[in-house]
Amino acid sequence: MGFVRATDTTGLSVGNKKMVVVDGKEILLTNIDGSYYAIANRCPHMGGSLVKGILEDGIITCPRHGSKFDVKTGRAVGGPTILFMKFKVKDDRSYPVKLEGSDIFIDLEK
């Protein structure tokens, strides 16, 4: 399938995020310093919706148990905390993004 048009840059200014659905998959799109990044919106811990979390310095914090992911790579940089106990979490899936004009394309296969 390769790159698929997901959305355009409307409402996605620097430091912002939004969720798009591409081929039935929820994707978290972010704009970090003018570049766009895509990771799976479902937290790999227990499926929290990452778009509802806080995005700060390129790190999204899951609203459910506080896992943290680098939105550029999907890498987990902090695990969940439940009842004051820390756990590990898998990395999130990241996807290649390309911009054509103001259209944002995501490749779900890579």
Residues that bind ligand FES (CB under 6 A): 43, 45-48, 62, 64-67, 80
Q: How far is CA 29 from the centre of its chain?
A: 5
Q: How far is the CB of 89 from ligand FES (least distance, A)?
A: 6
Q: How far is the CB of 77 from ligand FES (least distance, A)?
A: 12
d(CA 17, CA 77): 19
Q: In Å, how far are 11, 30, 76 from 73, measured between CA atoms?
A: 22, 12, 9
Q: Which is nearer to ligand FES, 74 or 104 (CB)?
A: 74
Q: Which is nearer to ligand FES, 66 or 74 (CB)?
A: 66
